[in-house]
Amino acid sequence: MGLTDITSRIAAAETAAGRAQGSVRLIAVSKVQPNERVEAVLNAGHRVFGENYVQETQGKWPDWRDRFDGIDGIDGIDGIDGIDGIDLHMIGPLQSNKARQAVQLFDAIHTLDRATLARKLAAQIQEQGRQPQLFVQVNTGDEPQKAGILVDELPGFLSYCAQLDLSPSGLMCIPPEGLDPQPHFAMLRKLAAEHGLPNLSMGMSADFETAIAEGATHIRVGSAIFGARDYS
Ligand SMILES: *Cc1c(COP(=O)(O)O)cnc(C)c1O
């Protein structure tokens, strides 16, 4: 299992960047992974996980919450339910018609990327009285096929969120494939600072150390912890 290796690489990257130990939260991305691999990481005491699909999450996490919520992990993380234990992050594209389930299932949603979704999430947050932490996904590479708010549209989108009583705590990005991610991480950091947002969700298996150097507070690491995903 790659968890201990990744944890020590995070600590080294925090030190190299002059940042406090523990300032980066490791989201272990468990989508599509066999249950045994995820349970091994849960049994090792890790409590912060990321998923991409609402349906897959509904199928696996209620049981793991029953078994592991209330059991302190190694990282001292609390979910938003006030119970020590599982902290579950939605990091995949979210359909508006899944907003209800997403607000029920997740402690954080990293993919707030359009006005219709903002409206649905705001309505569900009011109705359920449950407030997942929110990140606005930004399309830093201006890629037409990619989700995310365009950089120019971010100020308007954040004002719209405020009108809906949504207060995102940070920004998230997925840099374009095959390009140096560093300028994208730097841009996200600058945008978050301009808007007074404390959290930065950026960095995956291949580039999390670069992201930590640029100020990431949440890194999303899957294959480097669990091994390659098998989609067959
Ligand atoms: C799958 C996924 C990850 C994890 O990717 P790895 O390369 O396996 O670390 C991180 N972020 C998002 C948005 C993902 O969809």
Q: What is the pLDDT along the chain (232 residues), one digit of tens a residue?
A: 599 999 999 999 999 999 999 999 999 999 999 999 999 999 999 999 999 999 999 999 999 998 988 776 766 665 555 556 899 999 999 999 999 999 999 999 999 999 999 999 999 999 999 999 999 999 999 999 999 999 999 999 999 999 999 999 999 999 999 999 999 999 999 999 999 999 999 999 999 999 999 999 999 999 999 999 988 7
Query: Which of the listed residues 91, 109, 143, 177 should we mutate to test ligand 1's pocket, taking the one with most ligand atoms within 8 A of CB?
Result: 91
Residues 6+ apart with CB under 8 A from 196: none
Residue 221 and residue 6 in contact, taking contact as beta carbons nearer than 8 Å: yes
Helix (H) or strand (E) holding 190: helix 182-194
Residue 38 and residue 30 in contact, taking contact as beta carbons nearer than 8 Å: yes
Taking alpha carbons only, the member of 55, 52, 149, 157 closest to residue 98 is 55
Ligand 1 center to 117 CA (angstroms):
21
Say how many C-beta atoms besides its own lie within 10 A of residue 201's C-beta.
30
Give the chain's domains with CATH numbers. Answer: 3-226 (3.20.20.10)
Binding site membership of 225 for ligand 1 (Cβ less than 6 Å): no
Ligand 1 center to 100 CA (angstroms):
23
Binding site membership of 205 for ligand 1 (Cβ less than 6 Å): yes
Please name the residue whose Cα sits nearest to atom 6 of ligand 1.
222
For residues 136 and 113, give the distance between their C-alpha atoms in angstroms, rounded to a whole number.
6
Binding site membership of 201 for ligand 1 (Cβ less than 6 Å): no
Q: Is residue 24 packed enough to be buried (19+ CB in 10 Å), middle (13-18) or exposed (0-12)?
A: buried
Taking alpha carbons only, the member of 152, 209, 204 closest to residue 173 is 204
Ligand 1 center to 127 CA (angstroms):
31
Q: Is the pTM of this model over 0.85?
A: yes
For residues 152 and 99, give the distance between their C-alpha atoms in angstroms, rounded to a whole number.
26
Ligand 1 center to 207 CA (angstroms):
11
Query: Which region, left, alpha or beta, applies to residue 8 given φ > 0 means left and ψ of -120 to 50 means alpha?
Result: alpha
Binding site membership of 146 for ligand 1 (Cβ less than 6 Å): no
Report which ligand 1 atom has the smallest distance to the Cα of 221.
Answer: 9
Ligand 1 center to 20 CA (angstroms):
25
Query: Which region, left, alpha or beta, applies to residue 227 given φ > 0 means left and ψ of -120 to 50 means alpha?
Result: left
Helix (H) or strand (E) holding 65: helix 54-68
For residues 126 and 177, give the distance between their C-alpha atoms in angstroms, rounded to a whole number.
37
Report which ligand 1 atom has the smallest distance to the Cα of 229.
Answer: 8
Ligand 1 center to 30 CA (angstroms):
9
Q: What are 31's two structure tokens? A: 């989508």
